[in-house]
């Protein structure tokens, strides 16, 4: 039976001298999914991505791509945009892009045709005959993005893909990543920008100190970490609530926690005793809140 996962990594261990970079980490990437790989600096994310790309090998554990044990032949099915970019500064952009595309097994004709398509799409045509050293960090990032996706890999790995971008170009690349997902590409997405995680990711794994400490569907995780807190705006700036905890207050805006023995209907009744309600919304924890709290408690 064909697996629903594009990639499965089981019990991965990797040690560098006295540093245990990965300690029994397992992940499963569903097909057609944007999978967030999260964690603080030094957590082990980059090591795992390098192992998947066969840049380095695990000390133990196994990785399967579409049900087959990962082998050298699978390199052509994976596209990797590392955090540390690797363009040669003295080469012309077009010349270098053609060279890198041909390394992925494309003919020069095919590579030229598809690069022209991507350069036009990303609005970088004018840089074709410029040297890489003349490009801004953001422009160089666009070039490398195009080279990463040009051969239509089945699995894309983006490590901090928005690094060096202003908000406009961040939006452009984010939309391209979402379009790639729509076309059926599976994506591993690593970033420190938690707002980007909420915008694009379907599932996540949070790694800290080489171990996976949180894993699953992003909406399930956010619901799991709900703490029965509500954001309330009312007409009274001196609201008193018997039996409820006011966690924060700013003029007529309140953050209120409902104890287990009570519920939102009883909170509304209590507010209406001496105020009118302008807005009443449950506060769902953000991925940034969850990230920080999990790391602190992990």
298 pLDDT band (50/70/90 cuts)?
low
Q: Specify the pLDDT at position 163.
A: 82
Helix (H) or strand (E) holding 245: strand 245-250
The domain limits of the chain are 5-88+152-223, 227-297
Range with lowest mean pLDDT among 60-64, 135-139, 158-162: 135-139
pLDDT band with cut points at 50, 70 and 90 for residue 31: very high
User: According to the per-residue pLDDT averaged within each range, which of 45-54, 80-89, 188-197 is highest?
Assistant: 45-54
**Is the pTM here over 0.85, yes or no?**
yes
Report pLDDT for 297. Answer: 79
Residue 195's pLDDT is: 86
Query: Taking a C-beta distance cutoff of 8 angstroms, is the pair 226, 219 a contact?
Result: no
Per-residue pLDDT, averaged over 35-45, amounts to 91
Q: In which residue are the tokens 């045509």 written?
A: 125
- 210 three-state secondary structure: coil
Quick one: pLDDT at residue 1?
36
Give the span between the Cα atoms of 54 and 75, in whole angstroms.
Answer: 8
CA-wise closest residue to 150 among 190, 128, 175, 180: 180
DSSP per-residue string spanning 26-66: EEEEETT-EEEEE-STTSSHHHHHHHHTTSS--SEEEEEET
Name the pLDDT band for 85 (thresholds 50, 70, 90).
low
Kindly report the CATH number that applies to the domain delimited by 5-88+152-223.
3.40.50.300
Q: Residue 255: beta bridge partners?
A: 231, 248
Give the model confidence (pLDDT) of 243-265 as tens digits: 999 999 999 999 999 998 899 99
Which residue, chain included where needed, has tokens 């077009």?
Answer: 94
Cα-based angle 50, 147, 54 (whole degrees, multiple of 5): 20
Q: Name residue, tokens 């939006």.
A: 171
Question: In this predicted structure, what is the pLDDT of residue 231?
Answer: 96
Phi, psi of 26 (to 5 degrees): -130, 135
How many whole angstroms separate alpha carbon 218 and alpha carbon 220? 5
Strand bridging mode 60-65 / 5-16 = antiparallel
Q: What is the pLDDT of residues 198-255, one digit of tens each?
A: 999 999 999 999 999 999 999 999 999 999 999 999 999 999 999 999 999 999 999 9
Tokens coding 197: 């995680």
Inform me whether the pLDDT recorded for 87 exceeds 90. no
């Amino acid at each position: 039976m064909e697996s629903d996962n594009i990639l499965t990594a089981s019990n991965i261990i990797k040690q560098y001298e006295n540093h245990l970079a990965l300690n029994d980490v397992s992940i499963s990437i569903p097909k057609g999914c944007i999978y967030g790989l999260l964690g603080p600096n030094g957590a082990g994310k980059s090591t795992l991505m390098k192992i998947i790309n066969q840049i380095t090998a695990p000390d133990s554990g196994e990785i399967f791509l579409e049900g087959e044990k990962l082998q050298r032949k699978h390199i052509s099915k994976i596209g990797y945009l590392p955090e540390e970019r690797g363009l040669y500064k003295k080469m012309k952009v077009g010349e270098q892009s053609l060279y890198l595309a041909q390394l992925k097994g494309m003919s020069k004709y095919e590579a030229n045709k598809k690069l022209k398509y991507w350069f036009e799409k990303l609005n970088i045509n004018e840089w074709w005959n410029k040297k890489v050293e003349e490009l801004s960090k953001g422009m160089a990032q666009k070039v490398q993005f195009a080279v990463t996706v040009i051969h239509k890999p089945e699995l894309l790995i983006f490590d901090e893909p928005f690094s060096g971008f202003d908000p406009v170009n961040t939006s452009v690349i984010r939309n391209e990543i979402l379009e790639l997902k729509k076309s059926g590409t599976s994506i591993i997405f690593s970033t420190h920008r938690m707002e980007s995680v909420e915008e694009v990711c379907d599932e996540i794994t949070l790694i800290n100190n080489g171990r996976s400490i949180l894993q699953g569907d992003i909406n399930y995780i956010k619901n799991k970490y709900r703490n029965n807190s509500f954001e309330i705006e009312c007409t009274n700036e001196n609201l008193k609530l018997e039996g409820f905890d006011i966690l924060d207050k700013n003029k007529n805006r309140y953050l209120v926690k409902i104890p287990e023995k009570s519920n939102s209907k009883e909170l509304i009744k209590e507010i209406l005793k001496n105020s009118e309600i302008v807005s009443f919304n449950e506060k769902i924890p953000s991925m940034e809140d969850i990230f920080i709290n999990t790391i602190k408690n992990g």
